[in-house]
Amino acid sequence: MRLIGFILNLAVLTAAALANHHDSLTLSPGEHSLVRYTNESLIVQCRSPSPDVKLHWKSPKGEIIHEHKGRIHIEQTAPEQLKIVFAHIALADKGNWTCEAVEGGLHSKSFDLIVYQKITFTEKDTVLTVKEGQTATILCELKGEPQPNVTWHFNGQPISVEANASKFRILADGLLINKVTQSDTGEYTCRAYQVNSIASDMQERTVLMKIEHKPHWTLKSHLSLQYAYINGTASIMCEAQAEPPATFNWYRKQKRLESNEKLYTIETENYWSRLTIHVLDAKVFDSYRCRAHNHLGSIERITRLDEGEKPPPPLVFQLRGYNSNTFDVDLSAPRDKDQLGPMDVNGFRIEYMTELEFKTDAGKWTNAKRKDFPYEEGANFLITNLEPDTVYLIRAASRNLAGFSDYTKVEKCKTLSLEPRVSAGALLPPIYQLLSVLLLAQLLRHCH
Higher confidence at residue 14 or residue 139? 139
Domains present along the chain, CATH in parentheses? 2-118 (2.60.40.10), 122-214 (2.60.40.10), 219-307 (2.60.40.10), 316-414 (2.60.40.10)
Instruction: Find the range with the poorest average confidence among 116-120, 300-304, 314-318, 443-447.
Output: 443-447
pLDDT at 66: 94
Cα separation of the two ends of the chain = 146
Burial class (CB in 10 A: 0-12, 13-18, 19+), 420: exposed
The predicted model gives 333-339 an average pLDDT of 79
Average pLDDT, the chain: 87
Residue pair 168/161 in contact by the 8 Å Cβ criterion: yes
Determine the average pLDDT of the residues in 335-339: 76
Percent of the chain with pLDDT over 70: 88
38-90 per-position pLDDT tens digit:
999 999 999 998 888 899 999 999 999 999 999 999 999 899 999 999 999 99
Give the pLDDT band (50/70/90) at residue 274.
very high
pLDDT number for residue 336: 76
Across the range 353-362, mean pLDDT stands at 94
pLDDT of residue 260: 85
Q: 217-268, pLDDT tens digit by residue?
A: 999 899 999 999 999 999 999 999 999 999 999 999 999 999 987 899 999 9
Tell me the whole-structure pTM to 2 decimals: 0.63
pLDDT beyond 70 at 410: yes
